[in-house]
């Protein structure tokens, strides 16, 4: 009788222990708009691997690429409400919550990826992420989308004037609308998951994105011409819901911060390594690729100056001065 009781007791304790362990496993949903295989998604997958390893399986990350959980705007709302744990998106999108983030969309801001790394990983980038906390988000790290290029289905762009009249999809925010208007083109703000269909149906003529995104979304199927302009560099914020974050222990928070920082280094390495191969793949996919001559790039920069001046006012003088001081220091 005693032996049966002990067996039952041991079994009950084992079940309870399993139940507690199971209950303590936290699942983190991590959303992004890019397709599987994109450098951003590779970074997210590396993050998932690191979190599981560092937490001893206590935390598991489920990656949802390709806009599976809705648009960036829908993801921001879900993060604030606590129904989504994590997302990675263009840092400039957060300008709708904290106006300072619009500076990341300034045309021709960064000259090189190294400059961008120094700014976003330093006090400037960390300070901007800190401002998201009062909006229900916590910034953990920056991935990169990289430098953006222009594509269209109408004609090659050999000079700035060739851009005029094109209907171009832009990220839905004011600075992108304004710089496209400054070139005499017609800006059409659209969430990324709607882009392919809009190009296929000729609702828009073109768009602008980094090479990896153009390749990952198979935009070469619906776009004939690509011009290398490097007109914008996109940092990509890795953010977590503050509601979820505040429920974690300090130890778990450290695991997530460390994994995010480590995966960011990996992600940027993947992004930069894939650039040349990506260009070749786009050409094989039927795209005609050309580089905008230096004289035309200078004309493009001149046309952007009034846009930068206008948005410097709305971003805030202190933020613009701080960014420019950082860049000046790096360029010495």
HSE-up (13 A, CA, CB side) for residue 117? 12
Q: pLDDT tens digit string along 245-298? A: 999 999 999 999 999 999 999 999 999 998 888 999 999 999 999 999 989 999
Report the C-alpha gap between 324 and 109 in whole angstroms.
9
**So what's the pLDDT on residue 7?**
54
For the four alpha carbons of 227, 185, 299 and 309, in that order, the dihedral sign comes to: negative
Residue 26: C-alpha distances to residues 53, 69, 249, 256, 268 (Å): 14, 19, 12, 12, 27
> How confident is the prediction for the chain on average, in pLDDT?
92
For the chain, what percent of residues have pLDDT higher than 70?
Answer: 93
Overall average pLDDT of the 61-70 stretch: 96
**So what's the pLDDT on residue 20?**
44
Residue 155: C-alpha distances to residues 152, 161, 212, 213 (Å): 7, 12, 22, 21
CATH of the domain at 314: 3.40.190.170
This prediction's pTM: 0.84
Report the C-alpha gap between 87 and 64 in whole angstroms.
9
Counting the structural domains of the chain, the total is 1
**So what's the pLDDT on residue 274?**
87
Q: Which helix (H) or strand (E) holds 26?
A: strand 26-31
Domain limits at 242?
A: 2-330
Whether the per-residue pLDDT at 101 is higher than 70: the answer is yes
Q: Which helix (H) or strand (E) holds 8?
A: helix 2-24
Q: pLDDT tens digit string along 189-212? A: 999 989 999 999 999 999 999 999
Report the C-alpha gap between 253 and 76 in whole angstroms.
20
- Is 86 within 8 Å of 257 (Cβ atoms)? no
Report the C-alpha gap between 146 and 98 in whole angstroms.
22
């Amino acid at each position: 009788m005693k032996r049966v009781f002990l067996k039952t007791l041991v079994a009950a304790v084992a079940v309870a222990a399993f139940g507690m362990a199971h209950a303590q496993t936290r699942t983190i949903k991590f959303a992004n708009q890019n397709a599987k295989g994109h450098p951003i998604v590779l970074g997210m997958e590396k993050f998932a691997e690191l979190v599981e390893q560092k937490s001893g399986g206590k935390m598991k990350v489920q990656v949802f690429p390709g806009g599976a959980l809705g648009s960036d705007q829908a993801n921001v709302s879900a993060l604030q409400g606590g129904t989504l744990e994590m997302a990675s998106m263009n840092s400039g999108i957060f300008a709708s919550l904290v106006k300072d983030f619009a500076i990341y969309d300034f045309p021709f801001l960064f000259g090189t990826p190294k400059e961008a790394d120094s700014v976003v990983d330093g006090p400037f980038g960390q300070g901007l992420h800190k401002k998201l906390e009062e909006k229900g988000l916590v910034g953990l790290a920056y991935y990169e989308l990289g430098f953006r290029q222009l594509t269209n289905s109408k004609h090659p762009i050999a000079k700035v004037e060739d851009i005029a009249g094109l209907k171009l999809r832009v990220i839905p925010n004011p600075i992108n609308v304004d710089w496209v208007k400054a070139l005499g083109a017609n800006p059409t703000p659209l969430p990324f998951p709607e882009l392919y269909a809009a190009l296929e149906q000729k609702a828009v003529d073109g768009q602008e994105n980094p090479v990896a995104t153009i390749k990952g979304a198979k935009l070469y199927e619906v776009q004939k011409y690509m011009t290398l302009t490097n007109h914008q560099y996109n940092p990509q914020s890795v953010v977590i819901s503050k509601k979820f974050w505040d429920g974690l222990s300090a130890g778990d928070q450290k695991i997530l911060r460390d994994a995010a920082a480590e995966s960011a280094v990996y992600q940027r390495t993947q992004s930069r390594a894939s650039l040349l191969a990506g260009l070749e793949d786009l050409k094989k996919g039927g795209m005609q690729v050309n580089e905008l001559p230096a004289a035309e790039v200078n004309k493009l920069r001149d046309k952007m100056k009034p846009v930068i001046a206008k948005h410097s006012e709305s971003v805030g003088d202190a933020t613009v001065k701080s960014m420019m001081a950082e860049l000046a220091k790096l360029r010495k």
